[in-house]
C-alpha cells in the first residue's frame, strides 16, 4: 500500500503548492486554512480510488470525511472573506522577513501538507480492509458524524453571535459555547477519533498505527494552533474572558462552574 499512500501525499502536496502560489498573489498565507480540510480528505479520496477494492466501509469513510471537509472549507472561506491575512500568519510573516514569500513554501505550506497527509492516516487501513461493517465501525461512524454536526452547530452559533451588533465586546457563552470554550475543536477531534475507530474496525490492530491521526489532531488543537494560540493573551485583552475561562471547560463539554479557578 506504499504507492497508494504516496499517491495521497502527492495530491496533498499539489494542493498545498497551488495554495502557496495563490498566497503569493493575494499576499495571504492564511489561505492554507481554507485548503487544509480538502488536503486531508483529498488524500483519503486518492486511497479510495487507488485501492484494488472499494468497500462499503471505504465509501462511508469517504462520505463522512468529505462532508466534514467541504463544510469546514466553505465556512472558513466565508468567515475570512474580505478580512485579509489572519493575524497569526501576519506574526509568522513578520518573524520571517525578508523573503517570507519563498520561506512560506516550507515554513507553512509544505508543513501543512505533511500534517494533512498524516491526519488522513485512518483512511488507508480502513478503506483497504475487506471485513464487513461491524459494531466498532458503527460506533466510529456515529462519533464522526456527531463531531461533524457538533462543530457545525458551534460555528453557526458563533457566526450568529458575531453578526449581532448587540454582541460587540461581549463573550460568547451561549449554546454549545456555554459548556465548552471550543466546541468546534472538540467536534473536530471527535471526527478523527471516530474515523480511527472505523479503521481498526476494519483492519483490527493492523490499523492501530493510524492512531497518529487523532493524536496529532488533538495535540494541534489543544497545544499548538488551537486553544493555546487563541487564548494566549485574550485574558489580558478581555477581562470578561477570564471569567468565562473560570466557569467553562476549555475542551470537553461539562457543566458550568461557579468556581473562579481556571482549568
CB 167 within 8 Å of CB 161: yes
262 or 156, greater pLDDT: 156
How far the first Cα of the chain sits from its last, in Å, is 43
What pLDDT digit, counting tens, does each position of 128-138 carry?
A: 999 999 999 99
Q: What is the DSSP string of 16-57?
A: HHHHHHHHHHHT-TTHHHHHHHHHHHHHHHHHHHHSS---HH
**Residue 51 zone, left/alpha/beta (φ > 0; ψ -120 to 50; rest):** beta
Looking at residue 262, its pLDDT comes to 44
Position 168 scores a pLDDT of 83
**Residue 228 reports pLDDT greater than 90:** no
Share of the chain above pLDDT 90, in %: 80
- Would you say residue 113 lies in a domain? yes
Q: Per the domain annotation, does 260 fall within a domain? A: no
Interval 170-188: pLDDT, tens: 889 999 999 999 999 999 9
Q: In this structure, are residues 223 and 150 in contact, taking their beta carbons and an 8 Å threshold?
A: no
Per-residue pLDDT at 235: 56
Q: Looking at the domain assignment, is residue 254 inside a domain?
A: no
More confidently predicted of 224 and 14 = 14
Measured CA to CA, the distance from residue 74 to residue 185 in angstroms comes to 17
More confident residue, 241 or 177: 177
136 phi-psi bin (left φ>0, alpha ψ -120 to 50, beta other): alpha
**What average pLDDT score do residues 209-235 get?**
84
The span from the CA of 126 to the CA of 137, in Å, is 9
257 lies in some domain: no
Query: What is the per-residue pLDDT for 237?
Result: 64
Q: Do 213 and 122 meet the contact criterion of CB atoms below 8 Å apart?
A: yes
The DSSP H or E segment spanning 1 is: none
Assigned C-alpha cell, 141 = 461512524
Checking if the pLDDT of 263 tops 50, the result is: no
Count of structural domains within the chain: 1
Residues 6+ positions from 147 with CB-CB distance below 8 Å: 68, 186, 187, 188, 189, 190, 191, 192, 193, 194
Residue 261 is predicted with a pLDDT of 47
Provide the domain limits for residue 53.
2-247
Mean pLDDT confidence for 88-117? 94
Is there a domain that residue 259 lies in?
A: no
Q: Is residue 147 part of a domain?
A: yes
Is 75 domain-assigned?
Answer: yes
**Arithmetic mean of pLDDT over the chain:** 92
pLDDT at residue 188, as a whole number: 96
- For the ranges 77-91, 108-122, 180-194, which has the lowest average pLDDT? 77-91
The reply to whether 154 falls in a domain is yes
Q: Which residues contact 254 (CB under 8 A, 6 or more apart)?
A: 179, 180
| Predicted local confidence at residue 236, as pLDDT | 61
Amino acid at each position: 500500500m506504499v504507492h497508494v499512500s504516496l499517491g495521497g501525499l502527492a495530491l496533498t502536496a499539489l494542493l498545498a503548492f497551488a495554495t502557496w502560489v495563490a498566497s503569493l498573489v493575494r499576499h495571504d498565507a492564511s489561505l492554507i486554512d481554507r485548503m487544509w480540510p480538502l488536503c486531508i480528505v483529498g488524500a483519503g479520496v486518492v486511497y479510495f480510488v487507488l485501492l484494488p477494492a472499494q468497500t462499503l466501509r471505504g465509501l462511508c469513510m469517504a462520505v463522512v470525511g468529505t462532508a466534514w471537509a467541504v463544510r469546514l472549507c466553505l465556512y472558513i472561506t466565508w468567515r475570512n472573506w474580505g478580512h485579509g491575512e489572519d493575524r497569526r500568519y501576519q506574526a509568522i510573516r513578520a518573524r520571517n522577513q525578508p523573503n517570507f514569500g519563498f520561506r512560506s513554501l516550507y515554513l507553512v505550506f509544505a508543513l501543512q501538507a505533511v500534517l494533512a497527509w498524516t491526519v488522513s492516516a485512518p483512511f488507508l487501513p480502513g478503506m483497504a480492509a475487506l471485513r464487513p461493517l461491524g459494531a466498532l465501525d458503527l460506533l466510529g461512524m456515529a462519533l464522526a458524524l456527531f463531531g461533524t454536526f457538533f462543530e457545525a452547530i458551534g460555528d453557526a452559533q458563533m457566526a450568529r453571535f458575531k453578526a449581532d451588533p448587540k454582541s460587540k465586546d461581549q463573550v460568547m457563552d451561549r449554546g454549545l459555547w456555554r459548556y465548552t470554550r471550543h466546541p468546534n475543536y472538540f467536534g473536530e477531534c471527535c471526527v478523527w477519533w471516530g474515523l480511527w475507530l472505523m479503521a481498526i474496525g476494519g483492519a483490527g490492530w493492523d490499523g492501530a498505527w493510524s492512531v497518529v491521526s487523532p493524536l496529532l489532531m488533538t495535540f494541534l488543537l489543544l497545544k499548538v494552533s488551537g486553544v493555546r494560540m487563541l487564548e494566549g493573551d485574550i485574558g489580558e485583552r478581555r477581562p470578561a474572558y477570564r471569567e468565562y475561562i473560570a466557569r467553562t471547560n476549555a475542551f470537553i463539554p461539562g457543566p458550568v462552574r461557579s468556581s473562579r479557578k481556571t482549568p
